[in-house]
Amino acid sequence: MVKVHLWSSARSVLDGAESLELEAKNARELLQRLGAEYPALQPQIEKGVAVSIDGIIHNNPSFQPIDDDSEIFLLPRMAGG
Amino acid sequence: MNKIDDISGTEYKYVGTRPVRPDGVDKVTGKAQFGADLYAPGMLFAKILRSPHAHARILSVNTDKAEALDGVKAVLTYADLELGDGGHDLEDDMNHVLENVMARGKALYDGHAVAAVAANSASIAKRALKLIDVEYEVLPHVTDIEKAIAPDAPIIHEDMYTQDMDPKPEKPSNVARRMEIGHGDIEAGFEKADFIFERRFRTEAAHQGYIEPHACLANYRSDGHAEIWCCTQGHFMVRSACAALLGMDLSKLRVTASEIGGGFGGKTTVFIEPVALALSRKCGRPVKLVMDRDEVFRASGPTPSSVIDVKIGANKEGVITAGFAELWFQGGAFPGSVIDLGAMCSFACYNLENVKAIGWDVVVNRPKSAAYRAPGAPMAAFAVESALDDLADRIGIDPIDFRLKNAAEEGTIASFGPKFRRIGLKETLEAAKASDHYNSQLGPNQGRGVASGFWFNFGGTTSASIKIELDGTAVVTVGTPDIGGSRASMCQMAAETLGIPYEDVRCIVADTSSLPYSATTEGSRTTHSSGMATVYAAQNAIGVMCSRAAMIWGIPEDAVDWKDGHARPSGANAGDFEPMSLAEIAKKAHETGGPIAGHCEFEAGKVGQSFGTHIADAEIDPETGFTKIVRYTVIQDAGRAIHPSYVEGQYQGGAVQGIGWALNEEYIYGEDGRLQNAGFLDYRMPVCSDVPMIETEIVEVPNTGHPFGVRGVGETPIAPPLGAIGNALSHAIGRRMDTIPMSPPRVLEAVNGG
């Protein structure tokens, strides 16, 4: 199980909890499970999110590996500059 | 002379040196080809008809008279563009891109495209525009954030309800979305504060001010294939957007990026390219379309304007106990301002136990905003860095010491969530404290300001290839347009990896049909991402050369090493053969299996965030309110400066753009909702005589995720200037400045106690 932290305004789907736990071996699997278990998050995931794994932000999350003790943050997708 | 890395001890021959830029001669002799420089046989000239109204329903568009004019070959309206499948790789909502490229049903801002004409000459096209009859129903408009979010504001999109609200709103509004980041308990944090700063800050929209207007040449052929030549930060982005808007297969559209006369984020989307291509499709002739400066201001994307409420508390010991910011950014007439980035950057420099930032994405009747260097960060930093300056004064602590005491470092939980890896903010603050500038005396009517800033830096999808020529030289091919000297940096990294002279490597930016996909040059990603791809492609080619040497020597491939540009037998075979140079191996390529090349296609990650600290000295004329920046220093962590001159140039450019934004640049709208200053005479950007020589100091805390430690440097230098100059002026005047630009009338008002 990995612990996933969400940015504040995404936490409404968790009744205010800061994080949740689920099984995922990579970022893609993480997003698929999040969308399936928390349908309210799916529109945001489809719109685009970034996933931070151990402090490295992946703006195009895909098959980046996740360990059980990885620090995972879901962030709004970043653009521009 | 080789350069020894101070931190890792690695010896570099080319990385960290300052070779002559490969594009320099062409640019100074006028031979470089920019967006408007290409001509094609039978080429037509296009012009765009733009709305004179800030907000109006388009009742009809009659193009009959224009089409009948001699020399007119095609007239285009929204009916000629329709969103097909595609564009999924782009960050923008393609429906909004489509509507921004050509108004559909409503004109949403002064300058919104309504129709376009292609004709034998530009003058005929202009005359034809006057013959297009557009019937408008003028609607109430709003161009100001605070008016747009008021309950009685005219609603721009009747179907827009604020997203991410609980409960969901029952009425439409001009607020597209709410977002929030943070952690801890800010109320408890403010309870612990001995000093609290609370104030509203405002910043006006600024344009990127690139010297080259948007320009393109499109040629749609009768077999359904097409080419576009254009100035852009991302030709793969242009291909995706145009293919989506014209219903084309990606493989049938080849886009070539011209030399580019500045972008700064403003050329990360499309404005005119789909129009030129659609006109070309309609008439079967090549079509050139070039914006004039008025159009650049009125219809391309400036940065958002903003309103920011900030509240920060600190105790007597100089520890920040809580930070709160509420930010409203207008992104023009469409949702998608960079509010997320603004909120996330607000407190990124600091290690705060209790922090919250709330962002609101607001629409107004202005052009759709586009990215501008570290989008969102300068406005947020203006508010937060001003607050810190005021608190430091009241606590009685040096402003740099105050920042050092609260600075983010490795392991700090960022206000936007993750823990920082190794970062260099403290190093920039310490360098600032020790600098000659910070320890110099100020003159009369002068004030000094300090501010820090942050940018994430991006990675992203990236490709590069390298081919080894028969004569032992090499050509690197990348897919990221060079807007800041990246070709020189690629050559340096390739030369360093291959072990051949810098002068023997050439780098070109390939068109979309010649190289796999590469994301746009944006977010300070190119030297990092294309640099990694170049290094990996060179390593790939080295693998091929080692195998060729093994073949020649008749030993196993894994018994060959590569060092200093030579294949060398290793292990049990060490010393059995003379090392073979790259040139010797290249010369035998056709006898040993064919051409030698390497390539890399990957998703670049492992970015290293960047921080900077600026010092500004401002002098005011108390009689006129005129401000002169008398000294300015930029100190920033580059990770590793591949070409220090380019890095310094980025620092200086960011600072100068920040000086312009802080002191003069602004979009001024009249009561009629029309832009009043759409030209460089009235939109005052700084020129060389307006600014001092910008002093720079490169701090190098390497990003361990990059082969040479690169972090990316283009964005961060524009984050601190608004705050640094605001603090300098506040000290010179003796009153807190809270509105950007701090133009002479505003300074005079503050001097006079207003």
- Cβ contact B179:B343 at 8 Å: yes
The helix-helix angle for B721-733 and B744-751 (nearest 10°) equals 40
For residue B154, cis peptide bond before it (omega within 30 degrees of 0):
no
The CA-to-CA distance between both ends of chain A, in Å, stands at 36
Considering CB atoms only, which of A12, A52, A79 is closest to B166? A12
Instruction: With beta carbons under 8 A apart, name residues in chain B contacting A75.
Output: 344, 416-418
* Structure confidence at residue B575 (pLDDT): 87
3-class secondary-structure state, position B588: coil
Does residue A81 sit within a domain? no
Domain boundary among B551, B585, B604: B604
* Structure confidence at residue B9 (pLDDT): 62
Question: What number is the average pLDDT over the span B669-676?
Answer: 98
Question: What number is the average pLDDT over the span B471-496?
Answer: 97
* Structure confidence at residue B534 (pLDDT): 98
Question: What number is the average pLDDT over the span B66-87?
Answer: 91
Rounded CA-CA distance B299/B296 in Å is 6
Does residue A72 sit within a domain? yes
Residues in a beta bridge with B46: B118, B289
- Report ipTM for this prediction: 0.92
Which region among A36-40, B282-286, B387-391 has the lowest average model confidence (pLDDT)? A36-40
Cα atoms in the Cβ-side hemisphere of radius 13 Å centred on A18: 10
CA-based nearest residue in chain A for residue B420: A55
- Cβ contact B166:B271 at 8 Å: no
Does residue B664 sit within a domain? yes
Q: What is the CATH number of the domain that holds B581?
A: 3.30.365.10
User: How far from B227 is each of B218, B237, B238, B276, B507, CA to CA, in Å?
Assistant: 6, 14, 11, 11, 22
Structure tokens, B59 = 């009742």
Q: Give me the total of CB pairs closer than 8 Å, taking one residue from chain A and one from chain B.
A: 100
Instruction: With beta carbons under 8 A apart, name residues in chain B contacting A7.
Output: 179-181, 416-417
* B453 and B480 within one domain: no
Does residue B362 sit within a domain? no
Q: What is the CATH number of the domain that holds A41?
A: 3.10.20.30
3-class secondary-structure state, position B132: coil
B265 touches chain A (CB under 8 A): yes
Question: What number is the average pLDDT over the span B521-526?
Answer: 94
- Cβ contact B186:B354 at 8 Å: yes
Rounded CA-CA distance B47/B40 in Å is 17
Q: Which of A28, A60, A63 to mutate to test the interface with B (most CBs of B within 10 A)?
A: A60
Rounded CA-CA distance B498/A24 in Å is 39
- Per residue in B197-208, pLDDT (tens digit) is 999 999 999 999
* Structure confidence at residue A59 (pLDDT): 86
Does residue A13 sit within a domain? yes
| Other beta carbons within 10 Å of B341 | 26
Q: pLDDT at residue B490 above 90?
A: yes
Percentage of chain B modeled with pLDDT above 70: 99
CA-based nearest residue in chain A for residue B462: A60
> Whole domain around residue A6: which residue ranges?
2-76
Tell me the residue length of chain A.
Answer: 81
Residues in a beta bridge with B254: B227
Across all residues in chain A, what is the average pLDDT? 87
* B531 and B404 within one domain: no
Top-confidence residue, B416 or A77: B416
Output Rg (C-alpha) for chain A, integer angstroms.
12
- Per residue in B578-618, pLDDT (tens digit) is 999 999 999 999 999 999 999 999 999 889 999 999 999 99
A3-27 per-residue burial string, b: 16 or more CB within 10 A, e: under 16: ebbbbbbbbebeeeeeebebebebb
Does residue B252 sit within a domain? no
Rounded CA-CA distance B234/B325 in Å is 33
Cα angle B486, B491, B492; round to 5: 95
The helix-helix angle for B273-283 and B235-246 (nearest 10°) equals 50
CA-based nearest residue in chain A for residue B377: A81
CA-based nearest residue in chain A for residue B91: A79
What values do phi and psi take at B248, rounded to 5? -105, 155
B501 closest CA partner among B490, B488, B491, B487: B491
- Per residue in B526-540, pLDDT (tens digit) is 999 999 999 999 999
Considering CB atoms only, which of A12, A76, A79 is closest to B371? A79
Rounded CA-CA distance B45/A22 in Å is 58
B231: DSSP letter: -
Task: Identify the residue whose tokens are 């493989």.
Answer: B251
- Per residue in B444-472, pLDDT (tens digit) is 999 999 999 999 999 999 999 999 999 99
Q: pLDDT at residue B1 above 50?
A: no
Across all residues in chain B, what is the average pLDDT? 96
Does residue A23 sit within a domain? yes
**Torsion A4-B360-B271-B282 (CA) sign:** positive
Instruction: With beta carbons under 8 A apart, name residues in chain B contacting A78.
Output: 340-341, 456, 458, 523
Considering CB atoms only, which of B164, B370, B458 is closest to A59? B458
Residues in a beta bridge with B237: none
B78 closest CA partner among B95, B52, B98: B98
* B475 and B450 within one domain: no
Residues in a beta bridge with B350: B407
- Per residue in B711-752, pLDDT (tens digit) is 999 999 999 999 999 999 999 999 999 999 999 999 999 999
**Torsion B242-B244-B246-B251 (CA) sign:** positive
Rounded CA-CA distance B690/B543 in Å is 53
* B477 and B426 within one domain: no
Domain boundary among B558, B574, B604: B604
- Cβ contact B78:B62 at 8 Å: no
For chain B, the helix, strand and coil percentages under 3-state DSSP, each to the nearest 5: 30, 25, 45
Which region among A35-39, A42-46, B35-39, B407-411 has the lowest average model confidence (pLDDT)? A42-46
- Cβ contact B58:B114 at 8 Å: yes
* CA dihedral of residues B375, B378, B381, B386 (deg, nearest 10): -160
Question: What number is the average pLDDT over the span B274-294?
Answer: 98
Top-confidence residue, B55 or A61: B55
Rounded CA-CA distance A62/B580 in Å is 41
User: How far from B710 is each of B264, B422, B639, B640, CA to CA, in Å?
Assistant: 20, 13, 5, 5
Q: pLDDT at residue B482 above 70?
A: yes
Distance from CA of A71 to the nearest CA of B (A): 7
Does residue A27 sit within a domain? yes
Distance from CA of B450 to the nearest CA of A (A): 24
Domain boundary among B578, B604, B630: B604
Does residue B700 sit within a domain? yes
* B722 and B613 within one domain: yes
Q: pLDDT at residue B224 above 60?
A: yes
A42 touches chain B (CB under 8 A): no
- Per residue in B346-401, pLDDT (tens digit) is 999 999 999 999 999 999 999 999 999 999 999 999 999 999 999 999 999 999 99
* Structure confidence at residue B83 (pLDDT): 84
* Structure confidence at residue B19 (pLDDT): 96
The helix-helix angle for B94-101 and B235-246 (nearest 10°) equals 80
* Structure confidence at residue B394 (pLDDT): 98
The helix-helix angle for B644-663 and B721-733 (nearest 10°) equals 50
Structure tokens, B447 = 């004030």
Considering CB atoms only, which of A8, A55, A60 is closest to B603? A60
Query: What is the number of domains present in chain A?
Result: 1
pLDDT band for position B90 (cuts 50, 70, 90): confident
User: How far from B708 is each of B345, B629, B641, CA to CA, in Å?
Assistant: 26, 35, 9
> Whole domain around residue B393: which residue ranges?
377-457+608-751
Using the beta-carbon criterion (under 8 Å), do B523 and A64 form an inter-chain contact?
no
Cα angle B703, B420, B648; round to 5: 45
* B619 and B703 within one domain: yes
| Beta strand B474-478 pairing with B226-230 | unpaired
Q: Is B216 exposed, middle or buried (0-12, 13-18, 19+ CB in 10 A)?
A: buried
* Structure confidence at residue A9 (pLDDT): 78
Question: What number is the average pLDDT over the span B206-216?
Answer: 97
Rounded CA-CA distance B613/B401 in Å is 13
Question: What number is the average pLDDT over the span A34-63?
Answer: 88
* Structure confidence at residue B657 (pLDDT): 98
Rounded CA-CA distance B620/B628 in Å is 6
* B613 and B746 within one domain: yes
Q: pLDDT at residue A81 above 70?
A: no
* B723 and B632 within one domain: yes
Query: What is the number of domains present in chain B?
Result: 2
Rounded CA-CA distance B92/B85 in Å is 14
Instruction: With beta carbons under 8 A apart, name residues in chain A contacting B182.
Output: 8
- Per residue in B115-135, pLDDT (tens digit) is 999 999 999 999 999 999 999
A77 touches chain B (CB under 8 A): yes
Q: pLDDT at residue A16 above 80?
A: no
